[in-house]
A and B are shown apart, each in its own frame.
Chain A
């Protein structure tokens, strides 16, 4: 035995060897499990799940890690135990038959025992040793050792024997869980933590606002890092699940696939293609702005792709939702009948937050949806404090993300609160955040939608007017002009006004064009007349010129003829002497 112990100590050079419990979430907060070959103390008040934790440790060990286990019950008989955990799906009898589990019931009743002189607890050691050896157990649970204190009066002997027991268990190399009742102001009533120094888990069951929550904390873990917070845990049909917020590992895949939001106008705003698959989408707005209607469109689009959609409605019943959606031309009933759409309707105050989360987990596991809608996520505030609700929503978003499920959450803003803020303070977790808001103008209230952020895609920065019509949601551009931002009937009248103005202008232009044509025509006519006149004048003048010419020629001719008739010597002589005489 000592050989194996030294071997174990030698083999892991730096870190402690750990024994995975197989309990959902517990291995994450203990960074791998309980200390291997050592004793872990699980303490807590009555009814907080100590026995169950022990049983599940053994059952998971036997089933998942092929490590047989021994359960020593001091409070319940083997039959009672088997019966109690059957509802959690653990079949102890089957495991016992397969030699994967041994259960021994130890009964000590002080009134039936007389103590006379010296004794030790060798009987217990022998029984334990026999049980361990008979199935080759690697795991041991002692539930609850403290019964020894009430069954035996010689406390000095019990203490000494317990010390010896823990040493002996360590030597045996078995990983052990010892449970103990919480004491007044101490971890355990009889100070068992003095003996078990390696790892201590504390379970707690608290009621706040009439809703109870179980919590688990690693009080100490020698030689290992561990999460130090208190973590809520659940006990349901699947056993214990610890839900560590720190299991947010932020290692989920990032899909580049895009899915439609169900509203073409909105898809256009989101880079033309809609949301990323597996992203988390938040839709916030005050009452009556159309959050549910938009969510139903997304559900419709999801079902149209032949994908499953799980709709958690906390404010309306399924029938009411279906009826209301029909009024905007959206018939979801065929999808429900086809099994693609499932509504999960519950009042938020029905359960504590942890139960809500658990039931969502379970539904998601069972239905395997592609889209999960939580409408509205703010209802969780009524079942817990703000911080609890926030942590719950964070875990929900993370859980869905890690499963590549698109999450659509709606956030109900209260009138007067800051719009760009969520009541559950989850905005930083959200990939695509759309804001629906009222725009009040000229005595009427209209809806506007804009995208506050959308990680990883080009998206519109414009406000769109959001219309609920008989044919579903339509997004139209708001009127943006010299008059400012106008919506609703103001937008319509402004649009009509503008149209009239444009018509006027068009007519005016037409008139001017005709005018111009007429002017041109008349001008051309005038030009024609002038040209005609000019032609006439020209002809007349040419005629005059010609007649003048003819006259001159005629004169010349007649003079020559005259000269010839006078038989003058030479031409021109008689003229010049006349001139000279003078």
Chain B
């Protein structure tokens, strides 16, 4: 149930045990949601090839799930692993900030 939702934002998986577990909260097929998923997928493939797992949750279908991760803004990307949990909101169009948010790049830049 958590793994899959609407047509376009598909879950992408590799076979190995994943170091990075990412969860993307969206609300239906809004342009921002679609953009966020596309941006995330591109980014992960560039920087975390083979080490990530993306779970997309559509809150319109599962509104109760919003509570667990304290989702207010849409879209929100939650880095479940590695710990600590990080949250990145927005359509992830700002690649630099997204990388900082995922702690793939030091925030000094």
Q: State the A residues within 8 Å of B (CB).
A: 104, 106-108, 112-124, 126-127, 129-130, 148, 151-152
Contacts and interface: CB of A to CB of B under 8 A. Distances in A.
Contact of A121 (B60, B70, B73, B94): B73
17 contacts: A106-B72, A115-B88, A115-B89, A117-B92, A118-B91, A118-B93, A120-B30, A121-B74, A123-B66, A123-B72, A124-B72, A126-B74, A127-B67, A127-B71, A129-B63, A130-B66, A152-B73
A123 B71 contact: yes
B100 interface: yes
B50 interface: no
B107 to A, nearest CB: 9
A79 to B, nearest CB: 14
Given A104-B67, A120-B73, 6 more contacts: A108-B72, A118-B91, A121-B74, A123-B74, A124-B72, A127-B63
B76 to A, nearest CB: 7
B91 A123 contact: no
Interface string B45-59: 000000000000001
Nearest to B93: A117
Contacts of B37: none
Nearest to A147: B72
A104 B86 CA distance: 21
A103 to B, nearest CB: 11
A318 B93 CA distance: 77
Interface residues of B, number: 32
Interface in B1-36: 25, 27, 30, 32, 35
A373 B79 CA distance: 69
A114 B89 contact: yes
B101 A116 contact: yes
B41 interface: no
Interface in B82-109: 85-94, 97-98, 100-101
A119 B59 contact: no
A118 B90 CA distance: 5
B63 A114 contact: no
A143 to B, nearest CB: 15
Q: List the 6 closest pairs (A to B, CB-CB), nearest first.
A: A114-B101, A130-B63, A117-B93, A122-B74, A117-B90, A123-B71
B47 to A, nearest CB: 15
A119 B90 contact: yes
B66 A117 contact: no
Nearest to B60: A126
Interface of B: 25, 27, 30, 32, 35, 59-60, 63-64, 66-67, 70-76, 85-94, 97-98, 100-101
B27 A122 contact: yes
Contact of A118 (B32, B64, B100, B101): B32
B11 to A, nearest CB: 20
B100 to A, nearest CB: 6
Given A127-B63, A127-B67, A121 B97 contact: no
B58 to A, nearest CB: 10
A112 B78 CA distance: 10
A116 B98 contact: yes
A119 B86 contact: no
B29 to A, nearest CB: 12
A121 B86 contact: no
Residue of A107, A126, A130, A152 with highest tally of chain B CB at under 10 A = A126
A108 B66 CA distance: 13
A115 B100 CA distance: 10
Nearest to B69: A123
A437 to B, nearest CB: 72
A119 B101 contact: no
Contacts of A108: 70, 72
A148 B70 CA distance: 13
Contact of A123 (B64, B73, B100): B73
A525 B65 CA distance: 138
B54 to A, nearest CB: 16
Nearest to A130: B63
Contacts of B60: 126
A130 B62 CA distance: 9
A185 to B, nearest CB: 30
A113 B27 contact: no
Nearest to B30: A122
B100 A114 contact: yes
A358 B64 CA distance: 43
Contacts of B73: 119-124, 152
A127 B60 CA distance: 10
Contacts of B88: 113-116
A116 B90 contact: yes
A121 B92 CA distance: 15
Contact of A120 (B74, B87, B97): B74
B32 A116 contact: no
A116 B94 contact: yes
Nearest to A107: B70
B98 A123 contact: no
A114 B101 CA distance: 5
A115 B76 CA distance: 9
A152 B98 CA distance: 16
A411 B27 CA distance: 70
Contacts of A120: 30, 32, 73-74
Given A114-B87, A126-B60, A119 B98 contact: no
A116 B90 CA distance: 5
A126 B91 contact: no
Residue of A107, A108, A121, A127 with highest tally of chain B CB at under 10 A = A127
B20 to A, nearest CB: 16
Nearest to A74: B72
Residue of B25, B73, B97 with highest tally of chain A CB at under 10 A = B73
